[in-house]
């Protein structure tokens, strides 16, 4: 604790440390202390979120404009009221229009961004990986660049082949193609497995990072208590 720390900060730190330990008690199994901390966390989160929505959305962005007689904001108010009918099964059909509007707008926005921000750049990047013409093959970096490019392309294609389930055994050229597709699909599953493994490692790292951060906070808290400043 830094110099000049106030009592509220100390209390806040203590509460945080205590709740952290309660959450960590789950490592010993499900217990009421863990559930207590969990319920406190979820309750505060939902309550604060509700307050933010009511203040920032309902009052500031809807009621205040209506109070200023900006009647165009009556449309979102109507849509919001209609959307609430989704909670009643018999009258759920009434909110279909508002639901359609939400889905339509969101799909449109997301689709354009996905095309411009993900699909096209990724395809372009895959193509650029194949462009090994400028690589200096006399150097190891050149070969690494080519290898990396080929690996990217191969991994991409094979991963897509892994989702091809309609291939069936045939004879002749068709059978050769089926076997090739099955082989690529197998390789694709290896790439997918590696990707999932990397994601798992990242999640594990994130968890350990959180653990380390929490332990640091707790040790620092007790060190400050034990060590007179």
Residues between 135 and 174 with contacts to other proteins, criterion CB under 8 A: none
Instruction: Report residue 105 as tokens.
Output: 């707008």
- C-alpha 8/C-alpha 4 separation (Å) is 11
Q: How far is CA 201 from CA 1, 66, 168, 208, in A?
A: 33, 51, 36, 10
H-helix or E-strand containing 59?
none
Binds other proteins by CB under 8 A, chosen from 14, 58, 114, 174: 114
Least distance to other proteins, CB of residue 194, Å? 10
> Between 170 and 209, whose beta carbon lies closer to other proteins?
209
Q: Which long-range contacts (CB under 8 A, 24 or more apart) does 123-127 make?
A: 125/152, 126/152, 126/153, 126/156
Is residue 124 within the footprint of other proteins (CB under 8 A)?
Answer: yes
* Three-state SS at 127: helix
Q: Where are the alpha helices (DSSP H) in the chain?
A: 7-24, 32-52, 64-67, 74-83, 96-114, 120-130, 140-161, 172-226
> Between 29 and 32, whose beta carbon lies closer to other proteins?
29
Pick the piece of the chain touching other proteins (CB under 8 A) from 2-10, 64-72, 77-85, 132-140: 2-10
Is residue 84 within the footprint of other proteins (CB under 8 A)?
Answer: no
Is residue 213 within the footprint of other proteins (CB under 8 A)?
Answer: yes
Binding interface with other proteins (CB under 8 A): 1-2, 5, 9, 27-29, 41, 45, 48-49, 52-53, 56-57, 105-106, 109-110, 112-114, 116-118, 121-122, 124-126, 128, 195, 198-199, 201-206, 208-217, 219-220, 223
């Amino acid at each position: 604790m830094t110099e000049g720390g106030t009592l509220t900060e100390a209390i806040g730190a203590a509460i945080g440390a205590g709740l952290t330990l309660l959450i960590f008690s789950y490592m010993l199994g499900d217990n009421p202390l863990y559930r207590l901390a969990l319920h406190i966390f979820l309750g505060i989160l939902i309550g604060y979120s509700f307050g933010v929505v009511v203040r920032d959305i309902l009052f500031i962005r809807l009621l205040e404009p209506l109070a200023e007689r900006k009647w165009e904001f009556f449309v979102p108010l109507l849509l919001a009221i209609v959307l609430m009918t989704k909670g009643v099964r018999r009258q759920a059909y009434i909110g279909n229009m508002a639901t359609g509007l939400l889905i339509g707008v969101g799909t449109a926005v997301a689709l354009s961004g996905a095309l411009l921000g993900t699909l096209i750049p990724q395809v372009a990047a895959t193509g650029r990986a194949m462009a090994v013409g400028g690589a200096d093959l006399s150097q190891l970096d050149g070969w690494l660049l080519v290898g990396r490019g080929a690996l990217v392309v191969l991994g991409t294609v094979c991963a897509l082949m892994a989702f091809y389930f309609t291939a069936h055994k045939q004879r002749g050229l068709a059978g050769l193609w089926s076997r090739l597709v099955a082989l690529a699909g197998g390789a694709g599953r290896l790439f997918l497995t590696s990707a999932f493994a990397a994601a798992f490692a990242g999640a594990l790292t994130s968890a350990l990072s959180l653990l380390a951060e929490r332990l640091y906070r707790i040790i620092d808290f007790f060190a400050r208590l034990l060590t007179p400043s």
